[in-house]
């Protein structure tokens, strides 16, 4: 029986309010960003220290991101467990938390093949790129026996899953209420500090395509409870000019237009984590009087079935098109149409 290791490769967040854990996660996140942006070490240290202290003073249980990803891994293991010819083993690894993705990309000796699945749906140097760049440092044997799956943004099946999920969780709306469904994405740098196009794969085009395809699909849903669909971004303040409009900017505009209620859905977050947990505060601070939030996909049955199908499809084909176009692994032989 063929032995295949499947790794869910996610961002990773701090699971507690502890100073050391939050500093470590923040520092690793900014270290990745510093590979493509101008972020001096002193600035990174200051940001991480202030952020860790702020979270420690605030207290609370920490982010549910890692726990939700573990639930996804367990559900995917169950979904892949009925294969009579392949022994799948599902693990998880995090770019910014433990277990560390950089240490997980080398294929174990007892494994025939491995599949690394990017759990950030839009491809970029800072999403699936955090898989393929460490993989470039491994042996040729590891690379030739590894398939990296990305390109979730381009999957019609995922768009359909989002539509069904939103419809299932959409709150009841009064017939005379002016409401709006807001698709929330994680922003990216669109202009660097010199006003130039960034010299790395930012994922901006993929984000736009992903959001617009989901928006079009949602507006085509028959008997839909939402009257309109808008797109907004959650941004950070480093590296240059980020995606627009930001969520606060959109809320201000919707409030000025007289929109009475919004329902936010973080479509680029495949599990609930720190940003989606904090989303109600951002919504409440806006100009729209009534706000709601749809949970992320997390370990929903439709989504896990979709992931299992992609894993099986990749292994059934001599190579896979489920990859990121600018991937530096594209020039490798054998099953090297990787992400």
Each residue's pLDDT tens digit, 5-47: 999 999 999 999 999 999 999 999 999 999 999 889 999 999 9
* pLDDT of res. 333: 36
Cis before 99 (ω within 30): yes
Residue 162: is its pLDDT beyond 90?
yes
Q: Could you give the CA distance from residue 22 to residue 49 in angstroms, rounded to a whole number?
A: 9
* pLDDT of res. 142: 87
* pLDDT of res. 320: 66
* pLDDT of res. 318: 57
- Tokens representing 312? 């099986």
* pLDDT of res. 315: 74
Question: Is-contact 33 124, C-beta < 8 A?
Answer: no
Q: Could you give the CA distance from residue 132 to residue 325 in angstroms, rounded to a whole number?
A: 12
Proportion of the chain above pLDDT 70, given as a percent? 95
Q: What's the burial of 18, exposed, middle or buried (CB within 10 Å: 0-12/13-18/19+)?
A: middle
Q: Could you give the CA distance from residue 324 to residue 198 in angstroms, rounded to a whole number?
A: 18
- b/e for 91-123, b at 16 or more Cβ within 10 A? ebbbbbbeeebbebbbbeeebebbbbbbbbbbb
Question: Is-contact 192 198, C-beta < 8 A?
Answer: yes
Give Rg (Cα) of the chain: 20
A 10 A CB-CB count for 324 gives: 29
* pLDDT of res. 65: 98
pLDDT digits (tens, 9 = 90+) for 109-126: 999 999 999 999 999 999
Mean pLDDT of 157-186: 90
Question: Any idea which residue has 């499809």 for tokens?
Answer: 313
Q: Which CATH number applies to 156-294: 3.30.530.20, 3.20.20.370, 3.30.70.890, 3.40.50.1400?
A: 3.40.50.1400
Q: Locate the domains of the chain by residue range.
A: 19-58, 156-294
Residue 336: is its pLDDT beyond 70?
no
Residue 328: is its pLDDT beyond 90?
no
Q: Could you give the CA distance from residue 336 to residue 139 in angstroms, rounded to a whole number?
A: 14
pLDDT digits (tens, 9 = 90+) for 47-78: 999 999 999 998 888 999 999 999 999 999 99
* pLDDT of res. 322: 80
Q: Could you give the CA distance from residue 110 to residue 295 in angstroms, rounded to a whole number?
A: 38
β-strand 241-242 against 189-191: which pairing, if any?
Answer: antiparallel
The angle formed by the CA atoms of residues 271, 147 and 65, to the nearest 5 degrees, is: 15
Q: Could you give the CA distance from residue 17 to residue 334 in angstroms, rounded to a whole number?
A: 45
pLDDT digits (tens, 9 = 90+) for 297-321: 999 999 999 999 999 998 776 566 7
Question: Any idea which residue has 């790395």 for tokens?
Answer: 200
Q: Could you give the CA distance from residue 199 to residue 20 in angstroms, rounded to a whole number?
A: 33
pTM for the model stands at 0.93
Classify 33 in phi/psi space as left (phi over 0), alpha (psi -120 to 50) or beta.
alpha
């Amino acid at each position: 029986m063929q032995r295949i290791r499947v790794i869910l490769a996610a961002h990773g967040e701090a699971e507690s309010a502890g100073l050391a854990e939050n500093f470590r996660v923040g520092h690793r996140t900014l270290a990745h960003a510093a590979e493509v942006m101008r972020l001096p070490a002193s600035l990174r240290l200051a940001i991480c220290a202030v952020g860790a202290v702020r979270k420690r003073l605030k207290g609370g249980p920490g982010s549910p991101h890692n726990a939700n990803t573990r639930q996804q891994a367990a559900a995917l293991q169950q979904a892949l467990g009925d294969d009579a010819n392949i022994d799948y083993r599902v693990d998880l690894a995090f770019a910014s938390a433990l277990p560390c993705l950089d240490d997980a990309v080398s294929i174990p000796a007892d494994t025939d093949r491995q599949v690394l699945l990017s759990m950030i749906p839009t491809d970029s140097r800072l999403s699936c790129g955090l898989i393929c760049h460490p993989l470039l440092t491994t042996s040729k044997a590891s690379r030739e026996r590894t398939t990296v799956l990305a390109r979730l943004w381009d999957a019609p099946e995922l768009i359909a899953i989002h539509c069904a999920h939103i419809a299932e969780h959409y709150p009841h709306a009064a017939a005379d209420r002016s409401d709006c469904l807001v698709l929330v994405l994680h922003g990216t740098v669109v202009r660097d500090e010199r006003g130039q196009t960034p010299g790395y794969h930012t994922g901006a085009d993929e984000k736009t395509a992903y959001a617009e395809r989901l928006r079009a699909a949602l507006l085509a849903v028959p008997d839909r409870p939402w009257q309109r669909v808008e797109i907004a971004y959650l941004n950070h303040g480093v590296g240059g000019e980020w995606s627009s409009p930001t969520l606060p900017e959109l809320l201000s505009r919707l409030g000025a237009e007289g929109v009475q209620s919004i329902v936010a859905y973080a479509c680029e977050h495949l599990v609930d984590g720190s940003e989606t947990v904090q989303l109600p505060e951002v919504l409440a601070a806006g100009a729209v009087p009534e706000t709601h939030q749809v949970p992320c996909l997390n370990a929903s049955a439709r989504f896990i079935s979709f992931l299992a199908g992609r894993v099986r499809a990749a292994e059934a084909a001599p190579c896979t098109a489920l990859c990121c176009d600018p991937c530096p692994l594209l020039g490798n032989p054998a099953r090297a149409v990787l992400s």
